[in-house]
Amino acid sequence: MKKSILLLTLFVITNLSAQQRPKLVVGIVVDQMKMEYLYRFSDDFSPNGFKKLMSNGYVFQNMHYNYMPTYTAPGHASIYTGTTPATHGIVGNEWFSRTLGKEMYCTDDADVKTVGDGTADEGAMSPKNLQSTTITDEVRMATNFNGKVIGMSLKDRGAILPAGHFANWAFWYSKTGSFISSTFYGEKLPEWVSEFNNEKNYLKYINKGWDLYKPASVYNESLPDNNPYEGKLYGSAAPVFPYDLKSMYEKNDAGVIRATPYGNDLLAEFAKRAIEKEELGKDNITDFLTVSFSSTDYVGHLLGPRSMELQDTYLRLDQTIADFLAYLDKTVGKGNYLLFLTADHAGAENVIYLKDRKYNVDNYPSKQVKKSLQDFSTKTFGVDLILNYSNFNVFFNRQIIKDKRLELAKVKQAFKEFLISQPQVKKVYTEEEILANGGNDYSLNFVAKGYDVTQNGDLVIVDKPGDIEYSTTGTSHGTIYSYDTHVPAIFYGWHIKKGESYDKKAITEIAPTIAQKIKVTFPNGTEAKVLQEVLDEKKK
Ligand code: ZN
Ligand code: ZN
Ligand code: ZN
């Protein structure tokens, strides 16, 4: 008896002493992917792409964003930091800075320069404005900076924010057709990146043009190809297949690939090259590759969630993911990599499509909202007090308020009453109300978690469900509603058991879960709530 206890103790000790980690962690973000797409297009997916992840991995069917605004930069930052904009500070893609007196971009950094074949603006980027650490940062520190971290996306913010502060590299796509980086990461692109760029791989996609991937009858989950809710791709006469990408490229630049499914293919090609040349997942020190597929978002914004173009983009992405999984199995080895797939936000229905079907909703472009605020200000206070309106935030001109001897509290109250009378507005919160959030107001919780007192406005507006501040074609995202918050979250591979959960989960639980799974420090801003389902693999 005593002997067996001793043996058991020894067994546990030896087991604990060996650091159990995967060779590679792969984080995939599909920009603007609604959970619903996994359901709606399910019949048309292959068994080797999304379905393989779903049937062999652990699927959270009810994963949501828990703050607003649900935009790309806050989304990527929240996935990888395990916290929300109130803590990590990425409160929008761009936001108004009172200090600078103008709008700033999430990854702007005037102290660094473009590396590679891009414009000066395209590469003046770094994670400087991201205030908390990421799971990728923690992997770097946990491996004493021997594990590599590489982030990539067509979008700068989709590459930089996931890769964190200590990344070896982040790469993003320039309109020149090249993947570029910034001097934050290094002075010169790695040889293999320059080689990839010199191959001009984007041209083969542009020359192919964009036609339907499958027979037209497969697209019966979408609206007809030519419908009034679609925008037009780079000046094309009508929103219909086939798209002549060559003439679009000739009239514009290599950026045209972004709003086609080929942007995802090009990125996957680049990811495979990175795995090969950087030897990711080759030794036993954990590396981390973050891949953010952006084309889904460009296509969604332009053509809407019910366009054949959107469906085609997902059918092709399914194949891209199937190829990528096969590559990982072959190169890194089955069971040696831990992969997760999620999205940075979901997206709304096209508002006119809803309105045409007698749902009383509408589009309220933010320019129009700003104008109504300015008109109200002039009428009520004799002067325009609006310094900025963006991301549902109202900023007052504090100097004019002081000069005019107005009382800020009274100004806020007057605007709040005005806004509440507007057809699209559901709620309006003042800075004081947001900071005093007691946790019982459902929409205030979203606002408070997205609110950084040093960077946000005097008032924050929550619109009614269904209403949108965008345009009449395509779609957008940004709100607290399920159409913007409900995203896929699938874990697959290393020590992941099959399964699914319908419990409501928060996006901020992904990063601390990975930290626990691979035994590294939590990202510093996280509330450390984990997804128990993917951790309790050993208890049977
Ligand atoms: Zn996005
Ligand atoms: Zn179309
Ligand atoms: Zn978007």
pLDDT (tens digit per residue) in 80-116: 999 999 999 999 999 999 999 999 999 999 999 999 9
Interstrand relation of 94-97 and 102-105 (parallel, antiparallel or unpaired): antiparallel
**Residue 392 CA to ligand 1 centre (angstroms):** 17
Is 72 a residue of the active site?
yes
Looking at every residue in the chain, the average pLDDT score rounds to 96
Contacting residues for 308 by C-beta, under 8 A, at least 6 apart: 212, 219, 222, 223, 224, 225, 241
What tokens does 368 get? Answer: 């129009």
Tell me if residue 23 falls in helix, strand or coil.
coil
- pLDDT over 70, % of the chain: 96
pLDDT of residue 537: 72
Strands (E), 65-193: 94-97, 102-105, 114-115, 149-153, 169-173, 179-182
pLDDT mean over 428-450? 97
54 in helix, strand or coil?
helix
What 3-state class would DSSP assign to 32? coil
Tell me the pairing of strands 114-115 and 179-182: antiparallel
Distance 285 CA to ligand 1 centre (A): 31
Q: Render 209-238 in DSSP notation, one character per residue.
A: -B--SS-GGGGTTS--SS-TT---GGG-SS
Q: Give the 3-state secondary structure of 265-316.
A: HHHHHHHHHHHHHCCCCCCCCCEEEEEEECHHHHHHHHHCCCCHHHHHHHHH
Taking only the tens place, the pLDDT of each residue in 52-87 is: 999 999 999 999 999 999 999 999 999 999 999 999
SS3 for 433?
helix
- What integer is the mean pLDDT of 135-157? 98
CB-proximal residues (5 Å) to ion ligand 2: 225, 230, 239, 307
Q: Roughly what angle, to the nearest 10 degrees, separates helices 510-517 and 72-81? A: 30
Q: How confident is the model at residue 13 (pLDDT cuts 50, 70, 90)?
A: very low
Classify the C-alpha dihedral 58-63-67-68 as positive or negative.
positive
| Ligand sitting nearest the alpha carbon of 477 | 3
Q: In this structure, are residues 264 and 293 in contact, taking their beta carbons and an 8 Å threshold?
A: yes
Nearest residue to 389 via CA among 403, 375, 404:
375
CB 533 within 8 A of CB 58: yes
| Mean pLDDT to the nearest integer, 232-261 | 97
Q: pLDDT per residue over 400-412, tens digit each?
A: 999 999 999 999 9
Which pLDDT score, from 0 to 100, does residue 540 have?
46
pLDDT tens column, 17-45: 456 999 999 999 999 999 999 999 999 99
* Mean pLDDT value across residues 117-146: 98
Quick one: pLDDT band at residue 139, thresholds 50, 70, 90? very high
pLDDT recorded at residue 197: 98
pLDDT of res. 402: 97
**Ligand nearest, relative to CA of residue 30:** 1
Interval 313-358: pLDDT, tens: 999 999 999 999 999 999 999 999 999 999 999 999 999 999 999 9
Question: What is the CA(364)–ligand 3 centre distance, in A?
Answer: 17
